[in-house]
Amino acid sequence: MTKAKIGALLLCLITITSSLSGQGSSRRSRSRNTSSNIAVRAELAAVLLQSGKYSDAAREYRTLVATDARNTEYRLGLVRALAWGEHYREAEEQLSLLPASRRDESDVQQLERLVRSNLEPSSAEAQRWVAQNPNYAPYRAALAHAWVREHHPGWAIAQYDTLLATNPTPALVRDLADAYSAAHNRAVGIARLREFVARAPAESGYRLALADLLTEDRQYAAALAETDTVLSYGRTPGALMTRARIDIASDDLVSAERDLNDALALKPTADAYLLLGDTYRWRGEFGKARTAYEYARVMRKDRTVTAAFAQLARDQRSVLTFEPASAADEGWQTSVTTDGDNGGIHYTTVDFQRGFSVGNGFVGSTSMSILQLSEMSAVANGKSAGFAGTLGLSREGITGAFYGRLGATAGLVFHPIASTVPTASVAATVRYYAWSASANIGTGPAYPALRTLASVIPFGEGSRPLTEFNSAFSVAGPVGPIDIAGGVRQADISDNNRRNELEGYARLPVGPVMSLIYWGNSIRFARPTADYWSPQSYASNALGLELAERQLRGLSLVARVLPGVASTDDSPFTHTGNTNPGASAAEQRLHFQISAGGELAYRRPGWETGLGFDWGRIANYSRTSLSFHLSINR
C-alpha cells in the first residue's frame, strides 16, 4: 500500500470517528452529518477495495447498499469486492439486482463473465445465462455441463454440437465424449470422435479424447494405438497419463507405473502422483503409495488428496467384520451359501442380484433368492423350500476423509408350507480414514438365525414363520498396532422372546503375513424355549493365528485357526425339544472349542470371485459352512 493510500485511509478513519462522536442540535445539522458520514464511508470503501482489503471493502459497501439500495455505484462496488475476494455466488446474486442498463455496460459484462466462470450453475440458471447472451460460448458450455450433471446427456450433446459447429476445440471434443459416455452411447460417441480425428489427424487433443472413450468401451488395443500415435509426435505428460489410464483399465499396473514415472519426469503434477499412488496401493505396496500421495499433497492440498490418504488407511487397516452389506451394487452378483451341523440342520441359500444406476448417484437392485432349510433330528424331520424377492436402493459418497453409504431394501419371502413374510432393512455406514461406524435395522423371518423347522411353521403347516425386528450397531478402527471391532445386536422375536448379542474382534500383526486374532461373542435370550436353541447365557472367547495375503487386485488367501473356551447354561447348540424351559438353566458349563476357516479370492477390474470355508466344534457339536460368490461389473 502506497503512502498516499495509507494517508487517505487514516484520514477517512479519523473523519468517521470525528463525525460519529460529534453531536448537532438541529435536524439540518444531523442531516448534514449523515450525508458526510456516507460520503466518507464510500471513500473508505473505495480505498479498501483498491488496497486489496476485499472483505473489509465488502462490509463497507454492504452498509452503503443498506443505506441506499438504489445507488448502483455502491452495489457495483460490492460486486467487485465479492468477486475479487472469490465470493462468486454472492457476487452473482448482487449482479442480478443491478438494473439492465448497468448490466449492459461492457465493464459490468466483463465482471459478470469473471463471476460466472467460477460458478457451477444448475441447468435452469445456465439457461437464463444463455437467454441473456446466446452468442457467448462459455454460457452454452456451462449449460451442457449442467445437463450432464443432471443426467440429461442427450440435451448436452445438442449443445456441444452447436458449439463445435463454429469453434471445435480439444476441450469441447473431450466434453462431447464425456456426454456420450454418460448417455451410455459410447459406440456413437466413438464414431463422432473419429470424424474429428480424420479432419485434424495432428490434433493430439482429439486423439486423446478418443482414447479415453475407447478405454471406457474396453477397446484397449485401439486406445493404445491412438496414444502411441500421439506419442510418436512427441512424448508429453498428457499422452503418457492417458496411456497409463489405459494400462490401469487393462490391469497392466507395471506399465502404468512406468508411464506415470515418465510423465512425472517431464512435468510433476499432483494428478500424476495421485494416480501413481493408486497403482502402488492396488498392488499392496502401501509404503510407496504413501510417498506418492505425500508428493501430491506438497503440490496441492484439497479434498482429492485427503480422500487418497483416507482410502489408503482403509485399505491397510479396515475391519469390515460387522459392517452391513451394501443394499445395492452395480453389476451382477451371485452367491451360494450352505451350512450344516451334526444335529441334522442344513440351510442353503442361492442369491442372484442385478444392480443398476438410477441417477443422482443412486444405485438400485433387484434380487431373487432360493432358500431351503432341512431338519432331520429327534424333534423334527422335514424340509422347507422358499423363494425371496428384494428391491434395494443405495447411495455412497466421499468427501475428503469421510466415506458414507446409506441403503434400504424391501421384499417378500414365500414358502409353500408357510405364510408369506415381508422383509425390510435400512443401513448406514460412515468411515473416517480407517475408523468406521455402522447402524442398521430390519425385519424379516427369524429362522435364518434360529435354524429349526419349528421357527418356520411354529403352529403347523400354513402358519406364519417366526419373525424378528433386529437392530445392530458396530464400530471398528485401529488402536496403535491393533485393529479392533465391536458389535451389538438385538432381535425381538414374534414369540415374545428377545436375543441379545455382543461380539468383539482384535487383530495384532506379528509378521508380514501372520496375525494374532481374538474373537469373542456373547448370546442371551430373554427366556429359553423348546422351539430353538435359546440359552439364557452363552459366552465364548477364542485366540489364535491367521495367515493372510490380501490383495486389492489378484489372488488373496486367508487361513485361520482359533482355539478357545465357551461358557453356557445349555447344551451347546443342541435342539433337544425339552418342553421345560427351566430344566437346562441349572448350571454354567465350560467347554473347549476350536474353529478354523479361510477364504480364497481373485479380483480383477470389473469382476471378482471367492470361496469361503468355516468349521467349528464345541463339546460334541460341530458345524460346517461353505460359500461362493461372483461379482461382475462391466
Average pLDDT of 216-237? 95
3-state secondary structure of 59: helix
In a domain, 185, yes or no: no
Q: What angle do CA 398, 399, 400 make, to 5 degrees?
A: 110
What is the tens place of the pLDDT at every residue in 83-141? Answer: 999 999 999 999 989 888 888 888 899 999 999 999 999 999 999 999 999 999 999 99
Element (H, E) at 60: helix 54-67
> pTM of whole model > 0.95?
no
- Quick one: pLDDT at residue 32? 53
What is the tens place of the pLDDT at every residue in 238-280? Answer: 999 999 999 999 999 999 999 999 999 999 999 999 999 999 9
* Alpha-carbon torsion (111, 115, 118, 122), positive or negative: negative
Please check the confidence at residue 580 and state whether its pLDDT lies above 60.
no
> How many other C-beta atoms can be found within 10 angstroms of the C-beta atom of residue 131?
9
Quick one: 20 exposed, middle or buried, by C-beta within 10 A (0-12, 13-18, 19+)?
A: exposed
Cβ(22)–Cβ(45) below 8 Å: no
Higher pLDDT, 449 or 29: 449
Confidence of residue 347 (pLDDT cuts 50, 70, 90): very high
* Listed residues 104, 119, 134: the one ending a domain: 119
Output the CA–CA distances (angstroms, integers) from residue 265 to 234, 471, 634, in the order listed. 14, 54, 34
* Listed residues 86, 119, 152: the one ending a domain: 119
* Listed residues 97, 119, 141: the one ending a domain: 119
Output the CA–CA distances (angstroms, integers) from residue 341 to 174, 309, 371, 534, 596, in the order listed. 59, 44, 17, 17, 15
In a domain, 39, yes or no: yes
Q: Indicate which CATH number applies to the domain containing 469.
A: 2.40.160
What is the tens place of the pLDDT at every residue in 527-570? Answer: 999 899 999 999 999 999 999 998 888 999 999 999 999 998 87
Q: Any alpha helices (H) in 250-400, and if so which ranges?
A: 253-266, 270-282, 286-299, 303-317
> How many other C-beta atoms can be found within 10 angstroms of the C-beta atom of residue 312?
21
In a domain, 195, yes or no: no
- Quick one: pLDDT at residue 585? 40
Look at the chain and report how many structural domains it folds into: 2
In a domain, 288, yes or no: no
Residues spanned by the domain of 92: 1-119
What is the tens place of the pLDDT at every residue in 77-93? Answer: 999 999 999 999 999 99
Find where cell 482429492 sits.
Answer: 304
In a domain, 272, yes or no: no
Cβ contacts of residue 58 below 8 Å, gap of 6+? 78, 81, 82, 85, 87
Higher pLDDT, 620 or 332: 332
Q: Indicate which CATH number applies to the domain containing 72.
A: 1.25.40.10
| Residue 214, phi then psi, degrees to nearest 5 | -60, -40
In a domain, 227, yes or no: no
**Integer Cα distance of 185 and 177 in angstroms:** 10
In a domain, 233, yes or no: no
Cβ contacts of residue 538 below 8 Å, gap of 6+? 522, 523, 524, 566, 567, 568, 569, 570, 572
Element (H, E) at 542: strand 538-549
Residue whose C-alpha is closest to residue 508's, from 552, 474, 546? 546
- Quick one: pLDDT at residue 434? 95
